Every structure is written in structure tokens, then in C-alpha cells.
Amino acid sequence: HTRPPTQGCIQRLISRSSSGWVSAMWLWAASLVIASAAVDTSFRRINLTDFDPLAICNDGSPSVLYFRSSHESDKQNWLLYLEGGGMCYDKASCLTRQLRSPRRTSSRSHKHYPESLNLSGIFSESQVLPLYGYHAGFVAYCTSDAYLSDTHSSSFQFPEELREKFPGGFRGARVVRAALDALRSLGLRSPAHLVLGGCSAGARGALAHLDFVSGVESNNHSDAGYLGKGVRVSGFLDSPLWVDIQPSSKSLVSLREKIWKFSKIGNIDKMYGSRCREEIARRYGKDSLGEMYRCAFPEEMVKHVKTPFFLIQNQLDSYQLRSLGVRKHTATGINKTEKNRLRVLL
């Protein structure tokens, strides 16, 4: 079984450190290197319910980590990559997701969740790649929440109509913590370097978790971070950057509205960083409580994360453009009126 988790990615790289944006460059050469060096490597399945009984998919089945040890077993370099695949945000979109993309809500299918999995791209063992020699974990995505939520299906905010199809609720945030616990059991120890990354919804989740994992945000842990002192954390974020632009048609749900709608059915407030909370409070004053969901919206979130990360975002990202009502996703296919409307992207 083979799954290409990085399909359609690297084009533009934006590098950010704790001091701010430091560079932006085109990576055509790197794209070609990754494409030509994509050697499949086998990962074994680990059920994350072995580390947390509530690290489950929407249907209550175990969430799954695929793991491959480095051949350089003495090295303490680790990659944890969160698979992407969109998200649902209300009763209708969640029921549609369960019907059309069942592997995004359940791990019960052995076809989609085999005992071993071959992964390429960023997981290639080619020596020319920067993550060569890293122990690598890949979290298969089955929680529909961009790894933001920890919500039981019996929660007061959870739609009653979803409880039959989604008895496991939304447990993406818990899944990430269970995956980190799994890496600890597999040998991650101080001193070490952890790259926390993902693509699309996985990258948005990784962005939200970075400061909590590194210790910049405590969230019930010491300032040593979730993994303890001596574990250096950085991010590799592929296509997370949703931008707040209104779609061309009122029939389309804006990307920001999707986050707002999801905040009504899934508990995501624990993922709001303190700096973002303070900024929203200053900006909106007495109305700030109803605006805190913005701290889970990538355009806002990215301003406040202090853990170093690399962010890749294609200006012609098909998902984002499609969500905005753009039919043609090429530079020549976008007309002048659309370019003016989308100038913040293009």
C-alpha cells in the first residue's frame, strides 16, 4: 500500500523564525530533487489508543500512527507529520464527509489502514534530502477537525444528529498528543530535535500545536514543553495559510466562516494561544469573546506562533481558490476582475 502525503506541494517557501519573516524564495530545484528522489519506505502501523483510549477517529475506531525508525538509530532527529484532507464544520458537511470520504472518519478499512504503509516524498531515505536519517511518524487523518478539537459526542455543543455517525466526536488534538507519547515510547528523548509538520489540514493542526509542544505556550505543561527540556521543536507547514477573503458567491461558505462554524460544534478554545487571545481582546473589546475563534484561523494564528517554522503556500492553491469561487486555478486562467479581488493572494 502506498500513500503520497505530499502530492501537489512544494512551490514557494516562506521561512519564519522567532524574529519574524526572514526570507521568501522559489524552490523549483528542491521540487525536482524531491520528485526524483522519492524512494518508498515502509512504515508500520501503531494504534494510538494504546497511548490514550480517547485518541480515536470520528466513528470511535483507533487513530493510527505509521512509524519508521531511522537506520541511524543513535541519532535523536524526529519527524511527526500530520496527514491533511480538509475538515467538516457543521452537521451537513460532516454527514457528507462521512458518506463520501469514509477513510477520513474511520480506520476500520484495512485497505486504507493496512498493517504497513509505503510513503515517499518528504519520507524518502535519499541522502540528498534535509530530513535524511530522521525517525519518522505519519498520523493518518480520521478526525475531520484539522487536529484542533477534543470534543466528546455527548458534549452539549455536539450536534445530536451527528452522534450516530460520529460517536467518537472530534479528537484531533488528543490524537496529536497521543502520537507524541508514542514517539517517546519509541525512543525520543532529550536532547533531540522534533520537526512537527503536515499538509493542508495537517499543517493547520501542526501550526496550532507548535507553541504548546515546544513550551512557548504551557497549556497545563511546564515551559519545558510537552516533551520536556532539551527537545528542540520546529515546524514544516505545507499549505496551511487560509486567507480571509469573501467568496464570489453568497452560496459559498468562506474559509473563516468554516472555522467559526466548527468552533460552535467542536471544543477548540484550548488551542488559542495567549498572544492571540490578548490581541483579539484588544482589537474587539467587549465583543472579543465572540471573535476568539479567529485564533484558530491560519491568517491570524500565523502572526502569533513563536516556535520557528517553515511555511510553504502555493499562491494558486486549488482548494483555497475553489473555496473562493475561482473555477480556473492557473495564472492565465484567472481573469482581471478575479485578480483584483484576490490581490492579497496573487
Integer angstrom CA distances of residue 33 from 28, 29, 41, 91, 232: 9, 6, 17, 43, 27
Residue 323: inside a domain: no
Give the confidence band of 285 by pLDDT, cuts at 50, 70, 90: very high
The total number of structural domains in the chain stands at 1
**126 Rama class: left (phi>0) / alpha (psi -120 to 50) / beta:** beta
Q: Per-residue pLDDT averaged across 285-295, rounded?
A: 96
Selected residue with higher pLDDT from 182 and 221: 182
Selected residue with higher pLDDT from 220 and 101: 101
- Phi, psi angles (nearest 5°) of residue 279: -65, -45
Residue 189: inside a domain: yes
Q: Per-residue pLDDT averaged across 81-99, rounded?
A: 97
Residue 325: inside a domain: no
Residue 56, SS3? Answer: strand
Q: Per-residue pLDDT averaged across 116-126, rounded?
A: 91
Question: CA–CA separation, 242 vs 345, rounded Å?
Answer: 10
Residue 305: inside a domain: yes
Q: Per-residue pLDDT averaged across 307-315, rounded?
A: 94
Q: Which residue has the cell 520557528?
A: 308
Torsion of CA 318, 24, 83, 200, to 10 degrees: -30
Give yes or no for a contact between 240 and 207, defined as CB atoms under 8 angstroms apart: yes
Q: Which residue has the cell 508514542?
A: 182
Domain range for 141: 2-314
Q: What is the pLDDT of residue 215?
A: 93
**C-alpha cell, 246:** 469573501
Q: Decide if pLDDT at 324 tops 50.
A: yes
Residue 184: inside a domain: yes
Residue 24: inside a domain: yes
Residue 199: inside a domain: yes
Give yes or no for a contact between 200 and 314, defined as CB atoms under 8 angstroms apart: no
Q: Decide if pLDDT at 15 tops 70.
A: no
Residue 73: inside a domain: yes
Q: Decide if pLDDT at 233 tops 70.
A: yes
Q: Decide if pLDDT at 278 tops 70.
A: yes
